[in-house]
Amino acid sequence: MPRTRTTIVTGIDIGTSHIKVIVGERISTEAYPQIRASVTVESFGMRRGYIESAPELIKSIERALILASKQVGIDIRRVVIGVHGTGLTGIAGSGHAIITRADSQVTTLDTNKALQNAEDGIGEQKNQKLIHTIPQKWKLDGKEIATKIIGLTGTKLELKTLCVTYPEQQIQELLSIFESLGIDVDDVVASPLAASLCLLSKKQRIAGSCLIDIGADVSTCVVYENFVPLIIHSFPIGSNDITHDIALGLKVSLEDAECMKRGTFEGTVSKRKVDEIIKARLIDIFELIDTQLKKVHRSGLLPAGALLTGGGSSQKIAEEVAKNILRIPVTSESAELVHTTKSKLKDTMYGVAFGLALLTNESQGDGARGVRETLAQSLRSVITFFKQFLP
């Protein structure tokens, strides 16, 4: 009988308004980690996904990790961190390689060359670091390949990719912050990709779906089809903008505007007027997302619909507005998250942190893959042979 191994895995989602930490215990014989701790604390020092005050952010992260460590009963020393913000960008790329073997069989050397060619093809992205290169489609001698390509014979290999970049300075600052806290960072992952692994089901990612995160200062979306992300995009607009609109429109303080947005204001206010202001800003957000869907010819054409998460998704009219603008089914509940956490987590706002925890461990079989293999398997569908795309 194989020996059972356990590992503590930690994902940390650093947002503008809140920091969320999920600590799980990975058991080698089980598919998903068991939740040992879930922590949410206020975040200070961030704006629109960028670090404005490192000292303030350090205090916020330290507080979150101390609380998580107390719940687990051990010190947390290793984490996977998620990044998002207006600097998170997805770029379409393409590459190719000439098959090198004398018998014309495709090898991992050829796929690596094609991938490197695709990365070189997007050119230097000033001040941006390439964090993911995701193969979307492979061709061999001009014919699209929908099965494992290693071992097939041909002369020219081609691929289309989604290259994800993030401001290099921000990554370095984050790494420095964790280093100052004595915490090792195993990997840096785009938050929308991490969240999609535990919020969207396999069926949703195959049929065609969209995960929309309306954060405090930034909204993001990732679109899937055939198990592969087609686009990932961020927008400098979020639920804080709704608060500001209410404050300006009703001539009230930001504190009162926030309460009105949340429906907890104790004074007299026109609910109809508040709803009109909220709806107007939500329309702006979903129209921006629909513009991105049009670029990949998926506007109104995602059978599995959209899943809303983030603080802005808690607005009662958010689903209705999204359905009207995007013309697809919309929900704010994730049956996949409930399933993978055995009902320990139901709030989709923990999706990023739990998704990051899923990506922490070294490869231990189908249900316990490390970040490189898990992302390769989960994001590239049939291209399971290609096990690494994080630099």
Please tell me the predicted confidence (pLDDT) of residue 384. Answer: 34
The matching CATH number, chosen from 3.20.20.120, 3.30.420.40, 3.40.50.970, 1.10.1840.10, for 6-86+168-199+335-380 is 3.30.420.40
Domain boundaries, the chain: 6-86+168-199+335-380, 89-166, 202-331
Same fold, 6-86+168-199+335-380 and 202-331: yes
pTM above threshold 0.95 = no
What confidence score (pLDDT) does residue 381 get? 32
Record the tokens describing residue 162, joined without a space.
């989604």
Q: How far apart are the first and last CA of the chain?
A: 36
Residue 364 pLDDT more than 80? no
d(CA 249, CA 267): 16
CA nearest to 168, candidates 126, 133, 132, 118: 126
Average pLDDT over residues 113-135: 90
**pLDDT, tens digit, 9 for 90 and up, residues 225-283:** 998 999 999 999 999 999 999 999 999 999 999 999 988 888 888 999 999 999 999 99
Write the DSSP assignment of 114-155 as a string of letters: HHHHHHHHT---TTEEEEEEEEEEEEETTEEE-S--TT-B-S
Residue with more model confidence, 180 or 366? 180
Reported as a single tens digit per residue, the pLDDT across 39-56 is 999 999 998 888 999 999
202-331 CATH fold: Nucleotidyltransferase; domain 5 (3.30.420)
CATH topology of domain 89-166: Dna Ligase; domain 1 (3.30.1490)
Average pLDDT, integer, range 141-165: 91
DSSP E strands: which ranges in the chain?
6-14, 18-27, 34-42, 46-47, 50-51, 78-83, 89-98, 128-140, 143-145, 156-167, 184-190, 209-214, 219-225, 228-235, 306-309, 330-331
